[in-house]
Structure 1
Amino acid sequence: MNESVRLTAWVRGRVQGVGFRWYTRANALRIGELAGFASNLEDGRVQVVAEGPKVGCEELLAWLRTGDTPGRVDGVTEIWDTPRGGYDSFEIR
């Protein structure tokens, strides 16, 4: 069974001003069935919220951790929760 989940991930490193949010959105759309957003935080991190099938959220999280991203990822912290809804697609904020 592939239940729907909510992934919130905070990505630290050199991830602002390098197209990181755009590539995150592109990957979420490639994976499919994910809704949410990628947003710059004032402390230099990017917050990624994705809701959808657990397998898709796990794939997005794995991509965030691979280092095959723009800039440089020094680490990713995540929490898992139940979906809250309210997203029509995956956006850049």
Structure 2
Amino acid sequence: MSDLVRRRVIVHGRVQGVFFRDSCRQEAERRGVAGWVRNTADGTVEAVFEGPEEAVAAMVAWCSVGPPRAQVQRVEPLDEAPEGVRRFAIR
């Protein structure tokens, strides 16, 4: 599939303890995006989104806001080669 893209993001701010991961999973499943999301030791959230360009771009944009209790300061996106993942997981 030629329009399949993969983007990794690091989300900075108040993003742990605010249901960011589960909200991200729900949003990704709603949009048909595969990948994963996890908390990191430095207090950021890391996520990988894989799917159609529009849906992945929408997920990156969603990360700029996050769930209602999040206070996102910035999002660092990085393009990667698609790996063919088929579902979205919380790690």
- In structure 2, the partner of 1:59 is 58
CA distance in 2, matches of 1:22, 1:5: 22
1:50-89 equivalences in 2 (<5 Å): 50-65=49-64, 67-69=65-67, 70-85=69-84, 87-89=85-87
Any idea what SS the aligned residue of 2:60 has?
A: helix
RMSD, matched Cα: 1.6
CA distance in 1, matches of 2:24, 2:12: 14
Counterpart of 2:89, as a letter, is E
CA distance in 1, matches of 2:51, 2:45: 20
Identity of aligned residues (%): 38
Any idea what SS the aligned residue of 1:22 has?
A: helix
Any idea what SS the aligned residue of 2:83 has?
A: coil
The superposition leaves residues 3-50 of structure 1 with CA deviations (integer Å, 9 ceiling, x where unpaired) of 101110000111111100000001001111x11100001000000101
1:12, 1:44 within 8 Å by CA — same for their partners in 2?
yes
Shift of 1:78: 0.4
The two structures have a TM-score, normalised by structure 1, of 0.88
Shift of 1:68: 4.8
Shift of 1:57: 0.3
Counterpart of 2:70, as a letter, is G
Question: For residues 68 and 10 of structure 1, do their structure 2 counterparts lie closer, same or farther at Cα, with a shift above 3 Å needed?
Answer: closer
Structure 1, unmatched stretches of 5+, are none
- In structure 1, the partner of 2:20 is 20
How many residue pairs match? The answer is: 90
The two structures have a TM-score, normalised by structure 2, of 0.90
Structure 2, unmatched stretches of 5+, are none
Any idea what SS the aligned residue of 2:41 has?
A: coil
